[in-house]
Amino acid sequence: MNNSVLILTGNTPFSALEKRVFELSKRTPDIAFTLQSIQPCVTCSVNLRLVDFIAETSFKEYDLIITHAGAGTVFFLLTCNLPFIAIPNLERRDPHQLELYNWLKKNKYSQTALIEELKSDLIVKKPIQPDFQFDLPEFNLEMLVNELFN
């Protein structure tokens, strides 16, 4: 079971994810949630802490990370081999998070979910742990771009 969950919303508002996490925190009082948000639209609760910044070096302290499907965050988590659930921010104008979400799902690099699929059973169960180590210096960015956009 995951006792501590970090939620990363990125540098743009992601109110749908924040609201869903707020609802989930009420239903799972035994889990400590930390929500990183630049413009929170929810309030703290007994088991929901709000922060505007969290250092990447502290990510490993959490049992699970729920993150927007932003490229920088996703690739950092992959290189660290940390368990996470990627959720595309569909509130953004550009579709790159949805494209990255589809790539992660297709290749089974992490758990993925849309907002409406994020339920307490996803958070409580042990997340998918990739059985490979993503090595960013050797990562072929051109291959990824071709796969995503062609």
Q: Which domains does the chain have, with CATH numbers?
A: 4-149 (3.40.50.2000)
Under DSSP, the state recorded for 82 is -
Q: Which residue has the tokens 């400590």?
A: 32
pLDDT tens profile 17-49: 999 999 999 888 899 999 999 888 888 888 999
DSSP string, 44-56: -BTTEEEES---G
pTM, rounded to two decimals:
0.82
In this structure, what are the phi and psi dihedrals at residue 26, rounded to the nearest 5 degrees?
A: -70, -35
What pLDDT does 47 receive? 92
Query: What tokens appear for 45 in the block?
Result: 């609760």
4, β-bridge pairs: 32
Structure tokens at 124: 């409580």
